[in-house]
Amino acid sequence: MSATATGWLLTAVAETSSEGSTDHASERLANEPVQPIAPYQSEHPEKVELGKKLFFEPRLSRSGFISCNSCHNLSRGGTDNLPTSIGHNWQEGPINSPTVLNAGLHMAQFWDGRAATLQEQAAGPIDNPMEMAYTHTLAIEVLRSIPAYVDMFEAVYATRDIGIDHVTDAIAEFEETLVTPNSRFDQWLRGDDSAITADELAGYETFKSIGCVACHYGEALGGKDFHRMGLVHEYLTENPSQGRFEATGEERDRFSFKVPSLRNVERTYPYFHDGAVWTLAEATEIMAYLQLGRELPQADIDNMVAFMRTLTGEQPQITLPQLPPSTENTPQPVPFERE
């Protein structure tokens, strides 16, 4: 946790805890495997605003229709709520789209962790033929053809010579702001015992006692490491993804995936890398069996689901940006391609 985040956390504890209970809250924060999410304060608001426009910019795709927000819809928990995403020319994506919310808290990006940073991740879909199906060169040509964008890039980067690194840097800075603080569980972590119910607390205690926190810990309750899908029992799926193996080529990484965040998990269905499970209760039951070898009683499942619903935080409040118009020099989109 950064010094800024730590300072925010101490302030939040002091503000939400009455005198005499601050020690209780501090002890809870020190002893729990989960930490509250801190608001993200960017030092570059103009870059954030530019990144927001680019996040919503469909002209970075060949069709002129698909944007970052298409698969990471900020009105739907940062996902598209589909088993796998719909790409260019209605192609079926190979894997479930992870939420973009709180992604800056993760150790790496994509299910297989092939991108080390948000900036590196932002470059991938633009020139992926199954996703936005453009090239970086053509995407930059689009932006350079629009004077308003050239002016914005100059204001942020002190150059009118736009490059793909500028584009991905701005998108990444915007995505860093997409955190979801102040969930009811975070309020409990900061000392407000009334923030969650007895059943929700019981679900959290079960979550810890059976071993879920071995993978789902930290601010994001995930995103910190990779684990094999099916540690105790094999996971049967028709999805061809080999997980981390596809990034490293190491046999030990076959079927290992980045642990997904449980923040806002009630909004990020369907679940797993193949998007095969639509309910949180079923996902909980399956994961307990696959990863821990446990068959949970229904009461434990119900309580754990209730706990996980307390992890929904304040959603980013986004004003839809107005994008500058194209010019006669802007490459035209190709929304329909026929063989």
> What amino acid positions are annotated as catalytic residues?
131
Confirm if 294 and 103 have CB atoms less than 8 A apart: no
Taken in order 170, 175, 179, 180, the sign of the CA dihedral is: positive
- What is the Cα–Cα distance from 138 to 135, expressed in whole angstroms? 5
Give DSSP secondary structure letters for 27-85.
HHHHH-S--PPPPP--S-HHHHHHHHHHHT-GGGSTTS---HHHHSBTTTTTB--SSS-
d(CA 74, CA 85): 15
- Half-sphere exposure of residue 270, counting CA atoms within 13 Å on the CB side? 12
Of the candidates 209, 203, 223, which has an alpha carbon nearest to the alpha carbon of residue 294?
A: 209
Cα 266 from Cα 245, distance rounded (Å): 29
Contact by Cβ (8 Å): 103, 178: yes
Q: Say whether 257 sits in a helix, a strand or coil.
A: strand
Q: SS3 of 252, please?
A: helix
Other beta carbons within 10 angstroms of residue 248's beta carbon come to 16
| CA 153 to mean position of chain CA atoms | 26
CA-CA distance, 51 to 280, in Å (whole number)? 32
Query: What is the secondary structure of 277-313 as a DSSP string?
Result: B--HHHHHHHHHHHHH-----HHHHHHHHHHHHTT--
Secondary structure (3-state) at 100: coil
Q: Which of 338, 316, 300 is nearest to 100 (CA)?
A: 316
